[in-house]
Amino acid sequence: MRDRQHVFFQGPEGSGKTTLFRRLLESTRKTLWLYCRVRPAPTPELAGQWGSTEESRALDDLDLIDSSVYYSPEETSDLEYLFRESEFFLSYSEAIAYEGSNLHSVWPDLSVHVMRPLPENEDLFFFGEGMEVELDARGLLAEIGIPLPEDARLLTKEEGRLLDEELGLTEDDGPGEDAIEIPDDIADLIVKALKREPLAVKVKQWRLHNDHQRLARCALVVVNIHDEAERPAAERTRRMIEELHSRPEVRRDVLHFAQGPGRVSVRIANLSNPRDPELKKALARIKRVVSTSDVSRDEDW
């Protein structure tokens, strides 16, 4: 496998990912790049396929070794490893840029999130229903004072019929005087415990909005403004990104106890202006990773 750098450009559609990469190539002619647009496979038949498409040919004016579109499977599979053995992937290059979805089998040296300023009425993260967890139903019953014997189980229909006959009960008989009414939620829990099934519940937690799910693991965030009128919204967006990493409870839920990138740079830049000073700083961050052959992968992940 060639020793080269892998850079991911992520973010919502239309945020400026391709424009940022164009600016990167305009600012240096020394690095030999491959460019791969990673897209979710629109059909099962296309999963794992790659090649030249109208979308990849739109980059033909760039000084690239080659460009391709890759249709990524939903989960890691042997299909991705076939792509890693493809002529495109094995072409000589010093770096590969991936734009769009994650490529599960590639570990990035740097992940860049490109986004537009968030509107005034939109937040980056929120507190709401999130991860589904499975709880031990028997353990929960024991905690509320209803322990079940280890051999307790649900009776089959035939066993239930024989027991009713033994007790002299019929379908018309109501509950006896000693019957205890059990709340529906406890009854459901007892049934799951007797079936030895876990109790699936959704817990409330801090979550990123869908367009920015991968932002938490990006070491460089570029907020793309079109003009100075958008700067106040961009500054508000920057503060929310910084809050994401500084508030322990948000960081815990969003990163799921992972460290995330050790150093996060947030740049507010007008990508349509090649001379924008913040754009130059963002490009320098990317080039520093690409030009350093001994960069530790842990530095930016």
pLDDT, one tens digit per residue, over 232-269 is: 999 999 998 888 878 888 877 776 544 455 568 999 99
Cβ-contact 41, 73 below 8 angstroms: yes
Distant-in-sequence, close-in-space partners of 17: CB < 8 Å, separation ≥ 6: 9, 10, 11, 99, 100, 114
Structure tokens at 92: 């000589």
3-state secondary structure string, 122-138? CCCEEEEEEEEEEECHH
The torsion of the CA quartet 289, 293, 295, 301, rounded to 10 degrees, works out to 60
- The three-state secondary structure class of 234 is helix
Tens of pLDDT along 112-136? 999 999 988 888 887 876 556 666 7
* CATH code, residues 5-120+209-291: 3.40.50.300
pTM across the whole model: 0.70
Q: Where are the alpha helices (DSSP H) in the chain?
A: 17-27, 54-57, 78-83, 137-143, 157-167, 184-194, 231-246, 248-255, 277-291
Per-residue tokens: 261: 């990138």
Tens digit of pLDDT for each residue in 155-206?
777 877 776 777 666 665 555 555 567 677 777 777 777 777 777 766 777 7
Non-local CB neighbours of 140 within 8 Å, separated by 6+ positions = 189, 193, 199
With residues binned 3-state (H G I as helix, E B as strand, rest as coil), the percentages for the chain, rounded to 5, are 35, 20, 45
Domain ranges of the chain: 5-120+209-291, 137-171+179-197
Stretch 76-92: mean pLDDT = 78
* Single-letter amino acid code for the residue at 116: R
